[in-house]
């Protein structure tokens, strides 16, 4: 039974830590697994750790994704990784381990952790949790796990949202025996309550961290400014049409020049093999034909550029300007 709780804890923690790079995630899970192996009383350790969500929040607070990305890039370039100083998130996990081990020692009554805190898993998710635990023990990749885990992120979000209210009463129940047994003064207990409130806020804020963003994103909606949009359309259409007509003149001229030059060049090449007896004359006509064909190719490309680049760019630019001027971003309700 204790193994199942440990497996469930590690499996859920593995799902919640998908925002980390795969190597870092594996390191963190190894430390937590070692914590369970070292602990004499596993239930007491689970009680000290409270819940996987809380541990994920603590690790997320200590994890610096930008710094880890820079170190990952330097490793791919062949630079030696400095293992003498563990990363911040590992140091935080070591502190959690030390605190958990210290809490286990004075505890006389061992209360079994409520297995219902892992009731997030339904039958289908339990199988997935077992697969995730086996993936934890497999060698990790050097690439970040974020794009691979995007499909799991919505499920993880749902799990986080469902477990946040369920974890709160469990966290409170776990905190009560600590408050009863500890011989701390009243101000320290008030400080603990403030910490709990801050951690609860962190858990709610963590919901957006699990989405894969390192900062809280506000949802915005683009709304049109109707009067301005109508006015812009009324002005932009004739201006764009005039621009297109002006651009069509050089477009058609370049097309006709290309057609003329290419046809004359082809005729010159065909005449080279039919009418000239002297090699010198043949070389002169061939050279002239090559020059004509080259200029024809240039004008042909100029025609294509006018159609796709100039006229197309004019239309795209007018549309982009309209979107910029006639729409505003409003926070989503």
**268 is an interface residue for another protein by CB under 8 A:** yes
CA terminus-to-terminus distance, the chain: 46
Stretch that binds another protein, among 142-150, 155-163, 179-187, 251-259 (CB under 8 A): 251-259
Burial of 212 by CB count in 10 Å (0-12 exposed, 13-18 middle, 19+ buried)?
A: middle
User: % helix / strand / coil in the chain, to the nearest 5?
Assistant: 75, 5, 20
Interface pick for another protein out of 125, 297, 307, 314 (rule CB under 8 A): 297
Q: Which residues, listed in sequence order, are joined to residue 221 by a DSSP beta bridge?
A: 330
Residue 274 interacting with another protein (CB under 8 A) = yes
DSSP state for residue 125 in the 8-state scheme: H
For residue 38, what is the enclosing H or E element? helix 22-38
Residues 6+ apart with CB under 8 A from 328: 222, 223, 225
Q: Which stretch binds another protein (CB under 8 A): 42-50, 106-114, 127-135, 287-295?
A: 287-295
Check residue 239 for interaction with another protein (CB under 8 A).
no
- Indicate whether 67 belongs to the interface with another protein (CB under 8 A): no
CA distance 45 to 166: 20
Of residues 103-122, which lie at the interface with another protein (CB under 8 A)?
A: none
What span, in angstroms and rounded, lies between the C-alpha atoms of 29 and 6? 12
Residue (182 or 241) nearer to another protein, CB: 241
Q: Indicate which single residue of 129, 258, 289, 326 sits in contact with another protein (rule: CB under 8 A).
A: 289
Contact segment (CB under 8 A) with another protein among 29-37, 201-209, 210-218, 253-261 equals: 253-261
264 touches another protein by CB under 8 A: yes
- Contact status: 287 vs another protein (CB under 8 A): yes
User: Smallest distance, Å, CB 240 to another protein?
Assistant: 16
Least distance (Å) between residue 295 CB and another protein: 7
Nearest to another protein of 278, 333 (CB atom): 278
Does residue number 169 form part of the binding site for another protein (CB under 8 A)? Answer: no
- Exposed, middle or buried by CB within 10 Å (0-12, 13-18, 19+), for 206? buried
Q: Is 198 in the site for another protein (CB under 8 A)?
A: no
Using alpha carbons, select from 39, 14, 41, 27 the residue that is nearest to residue 92: 27
Q: How far is the CB of 239 from another protein (least distance, A)?
A: 14
Can residue 315 be called a binding residue for another protein (CB under 8 A)?
no
For residues 209 and 153, the answer to whether their CB atoms sit within 8 Å is no
Name which position in 101, 207, 293, 318 contacts another protein (CB under 8 A): 293
Q: What is the rounded CA–CA span in Å between residue 84 and residue 105? A: 30
Report yes or no: 113 and 2 within 8 Å, Cβ to Cβ: no
Exactly one of 62, 164, 260, 307 binds another protein (CB under 8 A); that residue is 260
Q: Which parts of this chain interact with another protein (CB under 8 A)?
A: 245, 249, 252-253, 256-257, 260, 263-264, 267-268, 270-271, 274-276, 278-291, 293-295, 297-298, 301, 305, 309
């Amino acid at each position: 039974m204790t193994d199942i709780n440990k497996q469930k804890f590690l499996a859920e923690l593995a799902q919640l830590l998908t925002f980390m790079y795969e190597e870092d995630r594996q390191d963190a899970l190894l430390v937590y697994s070692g914590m369970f192996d070292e602990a004499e009383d596993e239930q007491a350790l689970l009680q000290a750790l409270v819940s996987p969500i809380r541990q994920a929040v603590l690790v997320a607070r200590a994890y610096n994704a930008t710094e880890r990305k820079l170190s990952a890039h330097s490793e791919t370039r062949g630079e030696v990784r400095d293992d003498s100083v563990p990363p911040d998130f590992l140091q935080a996990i070591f502190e959690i381990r030390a605190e958990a081990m210290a809490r286990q020692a004075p505890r006389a009554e061992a209360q079994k952790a409520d297995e219902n805190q892992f009731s997030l898993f339904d039958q289908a998710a339990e199988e997935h949790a077992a697969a995730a635990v086996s993936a934890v023990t497999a060698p990790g990749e050097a690439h970040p796990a974020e794009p691979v885990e995007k499909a799991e992120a919505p499920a993880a979000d749902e799990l986080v949202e469902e477990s946040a209210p369920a974890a709160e009463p469990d966290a409170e129940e776990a905190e009560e025996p600590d408050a009863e047994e500890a011989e701390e003064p009243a101000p320290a207990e008030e400080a603990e309550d403030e910490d709990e409130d801050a951690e609860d806020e962190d858990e709610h804020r963590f919901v957006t961290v699990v989405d894969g963003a390192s900062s809280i994103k506000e949802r915005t909606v683009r709304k049109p400014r109707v009067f301005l949009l109508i006015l812009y359309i009324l002005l932009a259409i004739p201006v764009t049409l005039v621009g297109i007509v002006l651009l069509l003149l050089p477009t058609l001229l370049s097309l006709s020049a290309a057609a003329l030059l290419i046809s004359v060049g082809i005729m010159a090449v065909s005449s080279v093999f039919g009418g000239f007896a002297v090699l010198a004359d043949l070389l002169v006509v061939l050279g002239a034909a090559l020059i004509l064909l080259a200029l024809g190719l240039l004008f042909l490309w100029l025609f294509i550029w006018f159609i796709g680049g100039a006229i197309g760019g004019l239309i795209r630019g007018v549309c982009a300007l309209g979107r910029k001027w006639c729409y505003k971003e409003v926070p989503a309700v």
